Structure 1
Amino acid sequence: MKIHDIMKNIDSKKNNIVKLFQNLIQIKSINPPGSTTEIAGYIKEYISEHGLKCEFYEQEKTKVNAVVTFSGNGNKKFIWNGHLDVVPISKPDGWSVDPWEGKIINSKILGRGAADMKGNIAAVISAACILADSSVKLSGDWILAFTADEETGGEMGAEYLVKNGILSGDACIVGEPTSLTKLGVGEKGVLWLKVKAEGKPVHAGVSFLGDNAIEKLYQFLTKLHKIEKIKRKHSKEIDKILSIIISESKRLKNTEFSKRFFQRVMNRLVMNVGMMRGGEKINIVPSSAEAIVDIRILPGMTHETVMEEIKEILKDSRIQGISFETVLTADSSYQNIDNPFVNFMKDTVSKGINIKPTLYMIPGFTDARFFRAKGIPTVIYGCEGENIHGVDEFITIDNLISTTKAYALTAMNFLKK
């Protein structure tokens, strides 16, 4: 079957694709706790009706990874990877709709995980099923990996599958939302750090005799923001990638935003105090307090380097009773943009859905780092999402269909007979 016919077939299946997407939103795969048992089971049942094989892999019970294989004739393997878990809803009263319904308003499909990333999951499942139903023959295996645990680091998801050789291939797409107009070739790293402060509890009426752990923690966190001013000289390869990204970003709609975005995000560390707790009672000087800090690390830097800088900030502050505990680390990763797979993706998408994607550096961290660490050429590409991790998260129906076409095209062209 010709590509043109496949594209028309996808258009004709729009209602089916939307319904699948809504069904995925309605399955609450919230992390924490991170169970993907129900949604993995739904995917296996759905794709089995189209003759595709699905296997489950678990490092820990309930953290189910579903690996679907569209078998072809040949040795090539093309991976699509995406995560099944979604973040919790921090402000349920702020939503204009039920976040677990997948309601459609003005051609927008709203729901938790709509953009991150059940829209892309619905798109790639639909693409694979439509190709299978159309008896399309591929010159190798198209492997769809639906993983657990990404929102808390990926140890029991993509990392487990890659390290144990369950996932391997010649190239990989990680289906995070990039607006279809951007092709992710790199990402920042992360350091999640628990900062603890110890104080001396006394009666609040004589607070001057104590040592307030909350105030001490606040003082240090204020000083810790100095970490954002640390500049890092990139390697020549990273400098080349960033210069091309900034140049190509001029083609994006909001050029001024793009310029400010890259200056702020790609040339400095970014810090966020995400959680805090402390104190025992209002009339007691707090004996302990702690915060969890999220620090996004520049390409070319390691979390060890950042940790040394943090220790220097603490030393200079002369604040006593502060200690650290590492919660999660992930170093930055990037794809050599001279790799043929990068141009393949740009050309395929440009010709197939008439969108010329610009190269892009992801401000967060993704499962792509696990594949790149194994030498698998990997890009990040997916739908246009709005309000990711926020209130009224959504993608549009048109974007969902375009994403389905993009995934079908990349598989057909990469595994061309």
Structure 2
Amino acid sequence: MSDLTALKQRLIDEVEAHKDELIELCGSLIKIPSENPPGDSTEISQFITDYLGHYGLDADWHESSEKMFNLLSSIGSDQGKELIYCGHTDVVPAGDLSKWDFDPFSGEVKDGWMLGRGASDMKAGLAGLIFVFALLKRLDVELPGKLTLAIVPDEETGGEFGVPWLLEKGLIKGDGALIAEPSSRLNPTIGQKGSYWFELEVFGEPGHGSLSPLAGNNAITDAIAAIEKIRTLWDLTIEIPEEVQGLIDVSKRYMREVEKEREKFQPVLEKVTVNIGTIQGGTKSNVIPESCKVQVDCRLPFGITRDEVSAYLKKNLDELGIRYEIRPFGFRSHANYTSAEDPVCQAIVDNISFVTGEEAYGVMQWASSDARHFRDYQIPVLQYGPAYLPTIHGYNERVQVEDIIRCAKVYIAAVVDFLFEK
């Protein structure tokens, strides 16, 4: 056994020995409501700062928007590589409390499950990062590089005041990053589809409803025709670049063999998906509507850009002879990935196998996350965190306690592989 393997095993054993502390920390984070909106991270940021301070660790506060605080803390040496461990404190609103089987802010453990809003997305992963970071300090592990903990307040509404704000300000830099976002047990996400959200507004001419369709011009019926054109984006045949075909293939394998209920969704990896999310138009049933607004969420595979989608939409909507405007909003990104051979991906994937004794490999996600921002700044990144995926953003959110512990073991072992290896 090499010295580094022995060190990793020692650290894994320390996580196991202190696992009750880890679970207590996770429960404490869940007990603090940090719903976004409204996005006030004051209370949870203070709790985390106090926790780190108990072990002699400082946390710098950076307020990116009112009551939204980014926390940064580092250990190790400036001489070697730098690894960023990143997590967000905000959670989606709990919603109708009567639809929960338990208090969403109880942070309770029952029958091996950690319960509550954010248990899977992503306070269990966040707790693992914070716990491991402090444990390395407690054990006086001398790191040949730097480990930076970046805790952000604003991911669930698009992340404008979290990771992208820190990167733009030059407050975080690194040779690799891990985001403890929810993933499956053996399969971190190393790539993601692009996003293109837009609002279509179609314009008509008002008139008395009793004269339609001979009078006026109905914005809603024109919008219906436009929606049919927009939905043909799904029919496009996209030529997937050869360099990412392997990632697509292994992700299809994952959907066949791991999340078997998702096998039917394999085509989304190579298609432009189109969701007509909202539609609003007209004023009364007896008035010909002069405006109709439709909000659309498209996710883009490798092989097509937002500009190409925009050109396709313009060509097809212009052919309808309608009056319209398209206004992009919200998530905007191209498909992006980090090579499976990158050291940060290898450090996580290899240590998933080291901890579990099972084959692990990285896959695509069909949604978007903060990972895209790191890649915009040429920082290799992947996502791996404890989760019970069916409950994310839903009622009765939960995660298995054993998953929280397993991920923390991977996190601490990966620090050794990434920072100690040349």
Q: Deviations over 1:365-417 (max 9, x none)?
A: 11112222222222221113322122222211111111111111112332339
Q: Which stretch has the larger CA shift, 67-76 or 266-275?
A: 67-76
The 1-side partners of 2:105 and 2:324 are apart by 41
- Of residues 399, 407, 411, the one that matches 1:407 is 411
Instruction: Quote the offset at 1:342 in angstroms.
Output: 2.7
Distance 1:319-1:68 versus aligned 2 partners, 3 A rule? farther
Instruction: Quote the offset at 1:15 in angstroms.
Output: 3.0
- Of residues 301, 306, 309, the one that matches 1:303 is 306
Equivalent in the alignment of 1:320: 322
Equivalent in the alignment of 1:239: 245
The 2-side partners of 1:205 and 1:51 are apart by 75
**SS of corresponding position for 2:121:** helix
Question: Is the CA contact (8 Å cut-off) linking 1:248 and 1:359 kept in structure 2?
Answer: no
**SS of corresponding position for 1:69:** strand
Distance 1:192-1:204 versus aligned 2 partners, 3 A rule? same
The 2-side partners of 1:215 and 1:114 are apart by 44
Distance 1:95-1:204 versus aligned 2 partners, 3 A rule? farther
**SS of corresponding position for 1:379:** strand
Question: Is the CA contact (8 Å cut-off) linking 1:216 and 1:319 kept in structure 2?
Answer: no
The 1-side partners of 2:293 and 2:21 are apart by 48
Q: Deviations over 1:299-333 (max 9, x none)?
A: 232211111122223123x1523221110311121
- 1:389 partnered with 2:393: yes
Instruction: Quote the offset at 1:57 in angstroms.
Output: 1.8
- Of residues 402, 406, 421, the one that matches 1:398 is 402
Distance 1:105-1:207 versus aligned 2 partners, 3 A rule? farther
The 2-side partners of 1:353 and 1:70 are apart by 27
Query: Unaligned regions of 5+ residues in structure 1, if any?
Result: none
The 1-side partners of 2:78 and 2:173 are apart by 17
Equivalent in the alignment of 2:169: 164
Give the letter for the 1:327 counterpart.
F
Q: Deviations over 1:176-203 (max 9, x none)?
A: 1112310212111101101112233344
- 1:416 partnered with 2:417: no
Distance 1:32-1:310 versus aligned 2 partners, 3 A rule? farther
Give the letter for the 2:232 counterpart.
K
Instruction: Quote the offset at 1:89 in angstroms.
Output: 4.1
Q: Which stretch has the larger CA shift, 338-347 or 325-334?
A: 338-347
Question: Among the aligned pairs, what percent are the same residue?
Answer: 29
Equivalent in the alignment of 2:236: 230
Distance 1:3-1:342 versus aligned 2 partners, 3 A rule? closer
* TM-score normalised by the chain length of structure 2: 0.89
Equivalent in the alignment of 2:364: 361
Question: Is the CA contact (8 Å cut-off) linking 1:348 and 1:410 kept in structure 2?
Answer: yes
- 1:346 partnered with 2:323: no
Q: Deviations over 1:17-47 (max 9, x none)?
A: 2232222223332223333233222211211
Instruction: Quote the offset at 1:145 in angstroms.
Output: 0.8
The 2-side partners of 1:113 and 1:239 are apart by 34
Equivalent runs, 1:17-416 vs 2, <5 Å: 17-72=22-77, 74-89=79-94, 92-208=97-213, 209-247=215-253, 252-255=257-260, 257=261, 259-261=263-265, 263-316=266-319, 318=320, 320-328=322-330, 329-386=332-389, 387-416=391-420
Instruction: Quote the offset at 1:120 in angstroms.
Output: 0.6
The 1-side partners of 2:123 and 2:324 are apart by 41
Question: Is the CA contact (8 Å cut-off) linking 2:177 and 2:344 kept in structure 1?
Answer: no
Question: Is the CA contact (8 Å cut-off) linking 2:69 and 2:152 kept in structure 1?
Answer: yes
* TM-score normalised by the chain length of structure 1: 0.90
Distance 1:191-1:89 versus aligned 2 partners, 3 A rule? farther
Distance 1:248-1:272 versus aligned 2 partners, 3 A rule? closer
Instruction: Quote the offset at 1:204 in angstroms.
Output: 4.3
Equivalent residues, number: 413
Instruction: Quote the offset at 1:79 in angstroms.
Output: 0.6
Over the aligned positions, Cα root-mean-square deviation in angstroms equals 2.5
Q: Deviations over 1:251-291 (max 9, x none)?
A: x4455x45433x32211011222233333345544332312
